[in-house]
Structure 1
Amino acid sequence: MKKLVIPFALLFIISLISFSPKPVTDSTNSWVRINLLGYQPKSSKVAIWASKTNEVPEKFELINQQSGKVAYTSTNIKSFGAYGPFTATARLNFSDFKTPGKYFIRIAEVKSPEIIIDDEVYRHTADFALRYMRQQRSGFNPYLRDSCHTHDGFALYGDKAGIKDSTHFDASGGWHDASDYLQYSTTSANAAYHLLMAYRDFPQAFADTKQANGLDGKNGMADVLDEAKWGLDWLLKMHPKDNIMFNQLADDRDHISMRIPKEDSQYGKGFERPLYYINGEPQQRGKFMNNTKGTSSTAAKFASAFALGSKTFLSTDEKYAQQLKNKAISALAYANIKKGVTQTASVKSPYIYAEDNWVDDMELAYASIPLVDEKSWNKSSKEALNYAKLEPVTPWLTKDTANHYQYYPFVNIGHYELAKLNQPMRKELMRYYKQGIEQVWERAQKNAFYRGVPFIWCSNNLTVAFAQQCFWYKKLSGDESFTELEQANFDWLFGCNPWGTSMVYGLPTWGDTPTDPHSAFTHLKQYPIDGGLVDGPVYTSIYKNLIGIQLTKPDEYAEFQSDLAVYHDDYGDYSTNEPTMDGTASLIYLLAAYDSRVKTLPKEFQTELGAITRGKKTEKKIALVFTGDEFADGGESINKTLVDEQVKASFFLTGRFYNKPKFKALIKTLKANGNYLGPHSNGHLLYNDWTKRDSLLVSELQFKSDLIWNYGAMEKFGIKMKDAPYFLPPYEWYNQQIADWTSQMDKQLINFTSGTRSNADYTYPEMGKSYRNSEEIYKSIIDYDQSKTNGLNGFILLLHVGTDPRRKDKFYHKLPELIKYLKTSGYELVKINELLKSEP
């Protein structure tokens, strides 16, 4: 038969015609996929056009949900052709539309689900996902208000440590790993680290509504820390002595049946379940042998979790922090017993956590040890960098497939922590992150969903990890090249995927989310598993070769399955719809990060680069603010004036000031008289260059550590962090990054109101043209008040507690005259927390 030959040029023209924009005519075979949770106004905002026809729209409209009117029209459409079940796909970019509200995209007769644009769209979502972690608790389970697995467990493989098989160790507690009731040290340590890290980086994202046992009631500690401590307490049991460490509790015989956890007598020694000792050798139960080669991977994860835990709880529970410190050091020693990976054990099933890399764990461990041993900073950072060089890019980033948990954790946390620990190493570490991102981008840029993450088992966990890596890279490098890629991976998790469903149970409550996950809680009792991140889609080839999967009902997403990948909201599919504890913990970090990207300051206040610089111009209130570092010669005079005039002021003092014995009596007096006392940095650091304001002179770790030390010095006077939420920067000089870091610590940066020369009261004649005498300073204040419409309303008027001895003309001697003038002019002098009290 004669072959038909079509010239290449003609084929090219036909392909252009096939996928060129056309008017949309078929609304039954076309969809618009969005992030069901919503978009922040300033973020990347992209929806996906997905059609089983060749049609690609020429434009799209954003319709106001309430009024029905067109709010925005755009032709910013990028076509990509076929993907998965779709013949035509395209990216609909509306990033330049920033008006908050509720909308939907309309293309002819095709409409998207409701689109929410608001700064608050991710608010409280991290705490929502935390519900799943509490529900996964073993020991006492607050959701069930019942206990389970209280008799665990008995040791196996402990002969190297002189432990006879079946010896009992208390291993009750911790988290069930997924919908089954196994418990793994490696996933638990990683989860605990993510929770601790989430609180450290974004404390404002978390509330205190639960007690330590998970039941309702505040206990003075953020719920995320209660949960992290629950995990740490169990890890302490899994490393009871320097020469004893267990890798897992229970095994795959757990999978015999679906059940609500009680005492669980399915197998084992009575109610006890087996504890697998880490001996650095392959372990076999039944007919399956794992590929354990050493002690490093799990033990190193212990070390980093214990170290960060010690640092976190040092200010609230010194004894517990010391215990964690000791365990961090012993865990690192255990990791060095035999360099190599520790894998989990299985009895009946071939499926295990087949972790195959361990140097990333060692990198994080060595980057974490300086948190509990400051003297080791130089040596430990060098060790960490050596390990970083052995695996600069997490291997799965370069591949389109991998074994189950082969490269775990799915993101190299060590690069991020080490980059903060050691500024000179940052550039190289950021290059490692960028290399990995570029590998994924090479695949992602070929499809409309920007999907470059492989569809292997737990693909959603990888998606979270990749978004984290993009987020950290941007944060540390300032390079925003991958912002849209990062957002695309976040959006994927919440509905911007071929199936149009969120991958998090119950989030958002108004959207399409899993309802029939592979979980005994939902299947047997219809208990909601709020916040659980399900495994996510897998390659169709993987799905077809898994053992024991059988769908229990018609597939609601049948028209969106393809030869590429499948996802089923069916409890019979354990490969795509089973929630995981560690994946959810990672998601909690990401949700906290996105929640904290936007902090809206009250509109009635004047702000600059993230700092509040003036209160309400509509109220005749002024805050007198005094800063102090090395001098306090005006302290007694200032205090006397305040008492005589019955006025309260605000004092922002450095850690050095608080720690000087000669200033102790003054500080106590100022506090006793009801003044506001706050932080001014510990060592009076210069944060950024005087001429290049965006050029930082400190790292994030230096900044946060210094501020924490400042608060530590304040605690000696009974001033707790929660009592002093406002921070005034040293030298009154900062940039947006400093404001952001302050916000991440749940504090608000403030600065003086410009316009007067009050802050020049520290100058002295030898400074030449910069010098201002007290009469000039006083006159500048009066002149501003009398020349401006709102006068000094809302002013943060900054002065100094003391000045250099070379200044003989002390402005604090004019303070009585100034206060009398302000009072006569009708001003109310208040503390900073009263001036900045926002409307409810």
Structure 2
Amino acid sequence: MRKLFLLIGIICCLTAFKSTVDEQAWIRINFLGYRPARTKVAVWAGKTTEAVTQPFQVVEIQTGKVVYENTVGRDFGAYGPFTQTYRLDFSAIKKPGRYYLKVGTVQSPEFRIADDVYNGTADFCLRYMRQQRSGYNPFLKDSCHTHDGYTMYGPMPDSTHIDVSGGWHDASDYLQYVTTSANATYHLLAAYRDFPRVFGDRHQANGLEGSNSQADVLDEARWGLDWLLKMHPKDDWMFNQLADDRDHSGIRIPKQDSAYGKGYERPVYFATGKPQGLLRHKNRATGVASTAGKFSSAFALGFQVLRRRDQEYAERLWQRAQTAYKLGLQKPGVCQTAPGRAPYFYEEDNYVDDMELAAVELYNAARIQGYKAADYLNSAYAYGLIEPVTPWLGADTARHYQWYPFINIGHYEVAKRVVDSRRQHIIGFYRSGIEKVWQKAQSNAFYRGVPFIWCSNNLTTSFAIQCLWYRKLTGDNRYAQLEQACFDWLFGCNPWGTSFVYGLPAGADTPSDPHSAFTHIGNYPIDGGLVDGPVYGRIYKNLIGIQLKDPDEYEAFQSDLVVYHDDYGDYSTNEPTMDGTASLIYLLASKQAEATETPVVAAPAKAKVVKKKAPVRKSIKRKSSGRKKTTGRSTVKKKRRRR
């Protein structure tokens, strides 16, 4: 009997030890899944010191059989909260199906391999853009900010009323900036231009349900264009910003916004090219070209995309594209956003990238109309030579939105138009920037070379697009795994094992308690919103007014290097942004469109593949991503045990 008790005790101890070991290691994957012919890499991350000697295995869920195994390969060492990390490359698996990975007793969440894994994701993220609408908000089926706004710094008397209602709220607050809105509008237009078959038509122009014979992404882009036209109403009038950080005085639903002492009116800032700030702090503006260039490129691309749908509207866009560009030439320099009570603002320090893009899109629009346009293209190329590499690439840090947009879009458009040595110059600029990031990324298992500054997810998205465009321009596949690692990071292959997009995919670990009045007050889902993303621990510790509201469910994965919180109290890592989401829509559209293109894949590692006959099975449909407004996702998620 004593031997029996001893045996039971030993078994219990071993079981307890096994459980402890399991909880010290995790396998991180892309929750959206993987395309059959593309790179597929997961990351094993653990807090143990004992080397991992077991192979990793890929298990097919339908049969329960191991269909692939390989060594875990190189230990990339410590990263963040982990003491050792490994990249698990299973690109050799090309058969569609549902799988999970195993290393010993450590198991990944389930994932899918199929050509349609990214289908509908771009349209899903458009939900967030519609929810961010100002003027009329289709999500709330109510109007807001219809009294905007009263002018400041303009040639007219201060507090003159001007109609600038419309556009999108910038993030979970209700400020509105041309800087981000024009960039978002451009990305939406470019997504339709480059991948028109990806988008559906399930909404009307006002955002309510119902078809209007126009892709929803164009409805959204035109919503942005309409507001931009209001912000550049005359040849020599250009406004840069609507509202300021008095917005942050409390949380409220948009129609209750009355924080500025003039009823429901908000201030609209004229673009003077000089430092501005009505309260304690001021920016360092030196000109208007950064804003003027963004205006011009959005209008010029809008003309190209919409000219056959609405000629009169397109002609108006063409005229404003030219007048905005002219203002940029007259007042070179940066037009930063205006701070108020707090020292935070968009500290944009470059403008030649904006003027480069404006010039090349004016070239494209002029050629369509049969005009002589070589001067525009030559100017675009000349601007590109001034800033060949976007300065944050390869850097460890930068100020908030210091180098914005986070990708030089003009390089891609110029490279498509020029030939010979000029084309190679521009492509070389892209390659140089990517290489700077790669030199940092290859030293860690997550292939992270993007700095953890505010809005790191926006940088990650933009960098993935730059890698995509470089690959398309050259056919060079050397950075394919780096490109995919950035995409995977956004959807779960990160230290916290979470997707950074609210509600995408359904059933996965995604944000549930973001810094958003919609979720905090009304428990409304903000489907499709890309949150800011992780920041350096030192940044988080020095920010003003941050206090977590609930116990940190990701505590085990925080580190001095980087933190992320799914908590309303953390506005630095968990606040969704409109411009980041618009960039992600372009990236997701490209991923869906690639399913019909000839694949270019990084060479997979050699390994043992277990061959077997494919069973006959029915297709597996993705679970609906719709949610009821009354669902208390935050409460449910806090109770769910993390893997």
Alpha-carbon distance in structure 2 between the residues aligned to 1:398 and 1:31: 29
Deviation of the 1:411 alpha carbon: 0.4
Task: Spell out, residue by residue over 1:760-797, the C-alpha distance to the aligned partner (whole angstroms, 9 max, x if none).
Answer: xxxxxxxxxxxxxxxxxxxxxxxxxxxxxxxxxxxxxx
Query: Residue 400 in 1 paired to residue 393 in 2?
Result: no
Tell me how far 1:25 sits from its aligned partner.
9.2
Which residue matches 1:453? 450
**Counterpart contact for 1:33–1:47, Cα < 8 Å:** yes
Tell me if structure 1 keeps the 8 A contact 2:126–2:528: yes
Rounded to whole Å, the distance in 2 between the matches of 1:62 and 1:194 is: 37
The residue aligned with 1:27 is: 22
Partner residue, 1:492: 489
Q: 2:46 aligns with which of 31, 51, 57?
A: 51
Letter in 2 for 1:474: R
For residue 377 of structure 1, what is the aligned residue in structure 2? 373
- 1:547 aligns with one of 544, 547, 563: 544
Equivalence for 1:230: 223
Per the alignment, residue 145 of structure 2 pairs with 149
SS in 2 for 1:48: strand
Shift of 1:279: 0.8
Pairwise CA distance, 1:56 = 2.2
Aligned: 1:530 with 2:527: yes
Secondary structure of the equivalent of 1:105? strand
Which letter does structure 1 place at the counterpart of 2:177? Y
Alignment of 1:721-760 (within 5 A): none
- Number of the residue aligned with 1:131: 127
Aligned twin of 1:71: 67
1:99 to partner: Cα distance: 0.9
For residue 352 of structure 1, the aligned residue among 328, 345, 368 is 345
Deviation at residue 26 of structure 1 after TM alignment? 2.3
Tell me how far apart the structure 2 counterparts of residues 53 and 178 of structure 1 sit (CA, whole Å): 39
> Of residues 297, 301, 312 in structure 2, which corresponds to 1:319?
312
- CA distance in 2 between partners of 1:57 and 1:558 (Å): 28
8 Å CA contact retained: 1:34, 1:491: yes
Partners in 2 of 1:265 and 1:24 — Cα distance?
Answer: 54
- Structure 1 residue 156 displacement after superposition: 0.6
Residue identity matched to 1:586: S
Which residue is equivalent to 1:38?
Answer: 33
For residues 270-289 of structure 1, the aligned pairs below 5 Å read: 270-289=263-282
Give 1:205 deviation, angstroms: 1.0
Where do residues 332-481 of structure 1 align in structure 2 (5 Å cutoff)?
Answer: 332-374=325-367, 375-424=371-420, 425-481=422-478
* Counterpart residue identity of residue 302, structure 1: F
Instruction: Find the residue that maps to 2:254 and give its secondary structure.
Output: coil
Determine the C-alpha separation between the residues in 1 that align with 2:184 and 2:261. Answer: 27
1:263 CA drift (Å): 4.7
Kept in 2, the 8 Å contact 1:24–1:108? The answer is no
Query: 1:76: Cα distance to partner?
Result: 5.4
Distance in 2 separating the partners of 1:507 and 1:295: 38
Alpha-carbon contact 1:77-1:93 (below 8 Å) kept: no
Give secondary structure in 1 for the equivalent of 2:21: coil
Specify the SS of the correspondent of 2:22. coil
- Kindly indicate whether the alpha-carbon contact (under 8 Å) linking 1:24 and 1:57 is maintained by their aligned counterparts in 2: no
Number of the residue aligned with 1:246: 239
| Counterpart in the other structure of 1:186 | 179
Counterpart of 2:33 in structure 1: which amino acid?
G
Per the alignment, in what secondary structure is the counterpart of residue 155 of structure 1?
strand
Question: Contact 1:56/1:89 (CA < 8 Å) preserved in 2?
Answer: no
**Helix, strand or coil for the counterpart of 1:275?**
strand
Alignment partner of 1:507 is 2:504: yes
Query: Aligned partners of 2:207, 2:37: CA distance in 1, in Å?
Result: 36
Conserved? CA contact 2:394–2:449, under 8 Å: no
Q: Which amino acid aligns with 1:369?
A: L
Higher relative contact order structure (alpha carbons within 8 Å, sequence separation ≥ 6): 2
In 2, the alpha carbon distance for the partners of 1:125 and 1:174 equals: 23
Which residue matches 2:619? none
1:596 aligns with 2:593: yes
Query: TM-score, with normalisation over the residues of structure 1?
Result: 0.68
Deviation at 1:101, TM superposition (A): 0.4
Task: List per-residue Cα deviations over 1:413-449 (Å, max 9, x = no partner).
Answer: 0000111122333211110000000000010000000
Q: Map 1:595-744 onto structure 2 (within 5 A).
A: 595-599=592-596
Q: Residue 141 of structure 1 aligns to which amino acid in structure 2?
A: N
Q: Which amino acid aligns with 1:203?
A: P
Identity among equivalent pairs (%): 62
CA shift, 1:168, in A, is 1.0
Per-residue deviation, 1:24: 12
Instruction: Say whether the 8 Å CA contact 1:410–1:461 is kept in structure 2.
Output: yes
Matched, 1:60 2:56: yes
Deviation at 1:266, TM superposition (A): 1.6
For structure 1, list consecutive stretches of 5 or more residues without a partner in the other structure: 1-22, 601-608, 611-840
**In the alignment, is residue 567 of structure 1 matched against residue 564 of structure 2?**
yes
SS where residue 72 of structure 1 aligns? strand
Confirm or deny: 8 A CA contact 2:52 2:72 kept in the other structure: no
| Cα distance, 1:478 vs structure 2 | 1.0
- Counterparts of 1:436 and 1:105 in 2: how far apart (Å)? 34
How far off is 1:270 after superposition? 2.1
1:329 corresponding residue in structure 2: 322
Distance 1:24 1:137 in 2: 48
Deviation at 1:286, TM superposition (A): 1.3
Counterpart code for 1:52: K
**Shift in CA distance, 24/82, structure 1 to aligned 2, threshold 3 Å:** farther
**8 A contact 2:394–2:450 mirrored in 1:** no
What amino acid is aligned across from residue 316 of structure 1 in structure 2?
Answer: R
Q: Which moved more, 1:272-281 or 1:366-375?
A: 366-375
What's the RMSD between the two structures over aligned residues?
A: 1.4
- SS of 1:324's equivalent in the other structure is helix
1:307–1:328 CA contact under 8 A, matched in 2? yes
CA distance in 2, matches of 1:229, 1:423: 33
Q: Is the 8 A contact 1:76 1:94 kept in 2?
A: no
Partner SS state of residue 85, structure 2? strand
Q: Give yes or no for contact 2:394–2:440 (8 Å, CA) kept in 1.
A: no
TM-score, structure 2 length as denominator? 0.88
- Structure 1 distance, partners of 2:139, 2:74, is 47
Aligned partner of residue 437 in structure 1, secondary structure: helix
- Distance in 1 (alpha carbons) for counterparts of 2:511 and 2:470: 31
Aligned length: 577
State how far apart, in whole Å, the 2-side matches of 1:397 and 1:358 are.
16
Q: Could you tell me whether the CA contact under 8 Å between 1:32 and 1:111 is conserved in 2? A: yes
Q: CA deviation at 1:376?
A: 4.2
One-letter code aligned to 2:348: E
Distance 2:357 2:466 in 1: 15
Q: Which structure: larger Rg?
A: 1
User: For 1:57 and 1:268, how far apart are their aligned partners in 2?
Assistant: 66
What is the identity, as a one-letter code, of the residue corresponding to 1:26? V
1:687 counterpart residue number: none
Contact 1:307 1:369 in 2 (8 A): yes
Q: Partners in 2 of 1:589 and 1:249 — Cα distance?
A: 26
Report the CA distance shift for 1:57/1:321 in structure 2 as closer, same or farther (over 3 A). Answer: farther
What is the deviation of 1:464?
0.2
Per-residue CA deviation, residues 287-325 of structure 1 (Å, 9 max, x unaligned), is: 211100001000110000000001101111000110000
For 1:581, which of 567, 578, 582 is the aligned residue? 578
2:76 to 71, 80, 84: 80
Q: How many Å separate the matches in 2 of 1:569 and 1:274?
A: 32
What SS class does the counterpart of residue 79 from structure 1 fall into?
coil
User: Given that residues 246 and 275 in structure 1 are in contact (C-alpha distance below 8 angstroms), is that contact kept between their aligned partners in structure 2?
Assistant: yes
Runs in 1 of length 4+ with deviation above 3 angstroms?
none
